[in-house]
Amino acid sequence: MTNVISSNLGYPRIGENREWKRALESFWKQEMTEQELLEKTGELRLNNLQKQKELGLELIPVGDVSLYDHVLDTSVMFGVIPERFPYNGGKVNLDTYFAIARGTKDAVASEMTKWFNTNYHYIVPELENAKPEITENRPLAFYKEAKEKLGIDGKPVILGPITFLKLSKGYEEKDFSKLLQAFVPLYIQILKELEAAGATWIQIDEPIFGTNLSEEVIAEARQVYERFNKEAPKLKLILQTYFEHIVHYKSIVDFPVAAIGMDFVHGDSLELIKAHGFPEDKVLAAGIVNGRNVWVSKLEEKLTQLEAIREYVKSGTLIVQPSASLLHVPVTVKSEKNLDPAIKNGLAFADEKIIEIVTLAKGLEEGKQCISRELKENRQQLEQFNRSTDRINEQVRKELEQVDTTDTKRSQPFAERIQKQQDQLKLPFFPTTTIGSLPQTKEVRQTRTQWRKGEITQAQYDQFIKDNIKMWIAIQEDIGLDVLVHGEFERTDMVEYFGEKLNGFDVTTSGWVQSYGSRCVKPPLVFGDVSFRQPMTVKESVYAQSLTDKPVKGMLTGPVTILNWSFVHDDVPRYTVQNQIALALRKEVELLEQNGIQVIQVDEPALREGLPLDKEKWQSYLEAAVYAFRLATSIVQDQTQIHTHMCYSEFNDIFDAIDALDADVISIETSRSHGEIISIFEENTYEKEIGLGVYDIHSPRIPSKDEIKQNITNQLKAISPTKFWINPDCGLKTRNETETIGALKAMIEAVKEIRKEELAVSKR
């Protein structure tokens, strides 16, 4: 009889009512002391552990929490502090911790980028001149806390050394081995202290093993885990992977660890086990419940899959767990009061997923009959969800079948289009703009809440939005921007807003997940076929354009990003859903153009993050992404200018795809990367126009004119002045009015000086 253990990889940090977010932001506003912050987040942390225990979970993760980001926590634990921040060794104080993440008046924040192919952002470690040391044993502190205060013998979670270094910057590849050897003794000390404290199971996260690492790195990794095993032999190390199957499967499952954690939702893990077997001396930790989506599991199918997996496990123990940390899903469905009951019955957030895991573990160990009631309830849930009349739309399926190749191509090449656009728009040298959103003040958020609750009328709400648009059009004109935006005051979020407007979507009231820092988003639910319902952005865009002679951008979120930042039900192929979204956006683009909007921005910040971890799957993903974007945008006339925007990315990976999008102008979030992305455009020919973000909007600091001017000057080494747009890194909704206006004024002052200097050069 197989011993079956239920486990979790990580739990949402934010709290059922985003208590964690509110505590952080109160601390940053100096409305809460450091002690109060630590007490509040500590209370939340213990409540989360207690809840998992009461739900029946056996292996409960500890140390998976964070005040900002778990990768930053790892950097800080090892004293990896960028030299521009004051630090004299020892435990890192909170001011320095948050300064690295958010920047200060005198020092820019560390780069922030996507955590593999998710919408979670991590703070990139900077290893240049690093002298790693242990500043505190965080996993040990959290292990002791759970044991002493709650009687929980938890499973400490540690970011593994291979993943940590591969996600870091500030060193050359040839120095990887040397750096690894500097960190390994520190990891060993952490593990030995955990062993001495009585810890048993230790989860070491190495999601990097789902990517195409070299054989040399795999060999070095094996040596690392051999040392771990030798130095802390009593610990049961779980080498945990997720987001994809293990690429070097045969090598990695032979590492000297007690257990291998595998994702059986994404990738081909079961096929690998069937083809190559599984070591007889190891426990398999099977990620069977989708940790990145919110739909109820088909428990009978999952149980059958687990039974198939068990056939290959000879160690006598099998761990049942989610495919990834539940950080990526909301806390509990119980908070949802307004959803259609059929849709709600189809949902499982973090708490409900833990119940599924506990149920599956019980059914696998004690037999299917022991969970017959749960299986019956699960079938009823699924049947009710599938009976929803809005799930299938034959008309949009037929429309999609009738799309041909001409629907995804502009009528003329860029070189001819751009001349017509310049004649139409009459923009100056170095045209300036913003990315789209403007400050979502407390008043904006409160008024939207009042409207949703029915406390003010639709007419009152519409007037409030118009007043904000009018005010900010005037502010933008006064600052001197060339291409304006309406500000998106009517939008809670760049994806959720469209989820509220399209058929086949639904939205939650409390389905929040962490994106970065205290920033939380509410991904909409794609429960059926997606189709256009009515104009979504035309009213606000047309009103804004009526207030100014300068062009105002129509602002849409692209099909790839809407797909990647939504919870999409898996019974329709993802690329089919993506094309349905593109077809709906195409109709909106056409309406914007018909109503006089000459510049239309279709944002795709999630294009790079959606890349599969396994490079063999990249081509099909990128081809589908390019197809969908072009389907959404190619309907416009030559003189209408299509923009797009992308967030932090390793653009070398997708340079050809960016070009293939055939957008007239692309803006890219680059300032936190300290100019490194510029080299990509030095090494590659890019004929279209481009704006590399000239200041960081994720930080509250207001950059100086000289700082922005230097950023522009650096970028001119790679980008022709005739193709260069000037813009902030990203949207400005998270910044306040003072920060926004101050930074934009500095940007315009810098541009004016650059224009004069470039004009003088051209006259020589």
Q: Give catalytic residue positions.
A: 698
Residue 147 is assigned to a ligand binding site: no
Residue 647 is assigned to a ligand binding site: yes
Residue 609 is assigned to a ligand binding site: yes
Residue 565 is assigned to a ligand binding site: yes
Q: List all residues 6 or more positions away from 420 whose beta carbon is below 8 Å from its beta carbon.
A: 638, 639
Q: Decide: 166 and 183 in contact? Cβ < 8 Å.
A: no
* Burial (Cβ within 10 Å: 0-12, 13-18, ≥19) of residue 330: buried
- DSSP assignments along 89-104, one per residue: SSSPPHHHHHHHHH--
Residue 737 is assigned to a ligand binding site: no
Residue 290 is assigned to a ligand binding site: no
State the Cα–Cα distance between residues 86 and 90, nearest whole angstrom.
12
Closest CA to 546 of 478, 469, 487: 469
Residue 379 is assigned to a ligand binding site: no
- Give the 3-state DSSP-derived string for 6-58, with helices as H, strands as E and coil as C: EECCCCCCCCCCCHHHHHHHHHHCCCCCHHHHHHHHHHHHHHHHHHHHHCCCC
Q: Name the 3-class secondary structure at 206.
A: coil
Q: Name the 3-class secondary structure at 357.
A: helix
Q: List all residues 6 or more positions away from 202 whose beta carbon is below 8 Å from its beta carbon.
A: 139, 155, 156, 158, 191, 194, 235, 236, 237, 238
Structure tokens, 408: 């995804």
Residue 18 is assigned to a ligand binding site: yes
- Residue found under tokens 């930074």: 743
State the Cα–Cα distance between residues 331 and 325, nearest whole angstrom.
12
Residue 520 is assigned to a ligand binding site: yes
Taking the CB of residue 215, how many other CB atoms lie within 10 A of it?
A: 9
Residue 53 is assigned to a ligand binding site: no
Q: Name the 3-class secondary structure at 191.
A: helix
- Residue found under tokens 């207001």: 702
Residue 203 pairs in a beta bridge with: 157, 238
- Residue found under tokens 């997708």: 654
State the Cα–Cα distance between residues 215 and 213, nearest whole angstrom.
7
Q: List all residues 6 or more positions away from 551 whose beta carbon is below 8 Å from its beta carbon.
A: 425, 427, 482, 483, 484, 545, 598, 599
- DSSP assignments along 469-530, one per residue: HHHHHHHHHHHT-SBB--B-TT-SSTTHHHHHHSEEEE--SS--EEEETTEEE---EEEEEE
Longest dimension (CA), the chain: 87
Residue 519 is assigned to a ligand binding site: yes
Residue 603 is assigned to a ligand binding site: yes
Residue 19 is assigned to a ligand binding site: yes
Residue 608 is assigned to a ligand binding site: no
Taking the CB of residue 212, how many other CB atoms lie within 10 A of it?
A: 11
Residues belonging to the binding site are 18-21, 114, 119, 435-437, 488, 519-520, 565, 603, 609, 645, 647, 669, 730
Residues belonging to the binding site for L-methionine are 435-437, 488, 603
Residues belonging to the binding site for 5-methyltetrahydropteroyltri-L-glutamate are 18-21, 114, 119, 519-520, 565, 609
Residues belonging to the binding site for L-homocysteine are 435-437, 488, 603
Residues belonging to the binding site for Zn(2+) are 645, 647, 669, 730
